[in-house]
Amino acid sequence: MKSGKKLDLSLYLVLDANLCKTPEGMAETARKAVEGGCTVVQLRAPEWKKKKQLRAAFLLKELLKDTDVLFIVDDHIDIALLSGADGVHVGQEDIDPKYVRQFLGPDAVIGLSVGSIKELNTIGPDVDYIGIGPVFSTKTKVDAGAAVGLGLLEYISKEAGLPNVAIGGINQSNAADCIRHGADGVAVVSVICGAEDPKAAAAAIKKAVNDALSI
What's residue 19's pLDDT? Answer: 97
**Do the Cβ atoms of 89 and 112 come closer than 8 Å?**
yes
Answer whether residue 77 shows pLDDT above 70.
yes
Please state the pTM of the whole predicted model.
0.95
What's residue 45's pLDDT? Answer: 98
Q: What residues are annotated to the active site?
A: 44, 113, 141
What's residue 1's pLDDT? Answer: 54
Q: What is the pLDDT of residues 80-93, one digit of tens each?
A: 999 999 999 999 99
What's residue 144's pLDDT? Answer: 57
Q: What is the pLDDT of residues 124-136, one digit of tens each?
A: 999 999 999 999 9
Q: What is the pLDDT of residues 157-193, one digit of tens each?
A: 999 999 999 999 999 999 999 999 999 999 999 999 9
Task: Determine the length of the chain.
Answer: 215
**Do the Cβ atoms of 189 and 140 come closer than 8 Å?**
yes
Q: What is the pLDDT of residues 134-161, one digit of tens each?
A: 999 876 655 557 899 999 999 999 999 9
Domains and CATH numbers, the chain: 11-213 (3.20.20.70)
Q: Counting beta carbons within 10 angstroms of the beta carbon of residue 149, is it exposed (0 to 12), middle (13 to 18) or buried (19 or more)?
A: middle
As a three-state string, the secondary structure of the chain is CCCCCCCCCCEEEEEEHHHHCCHHHHHHHHHHHHHCCCCEEEEECCCCCHHHHHHHHHHHHHHHCCCCCEEEEECCHHHHHHHCCCEEEECCCCCCHHHHHHHHCCCCEEEEEECCCHHHHHCCCCCCEEEECCCCCCCCCCCCCCCCHHHHHHHHHHHHCCCEEEECCCCCCCHHHHHHCCCCEEEECHHHHCCCCHHHHHHHHHHHHHHHHCC
What's residue 141's pLDDT? Answer: 56
What's residue 138's pLDDT? Answer: 78
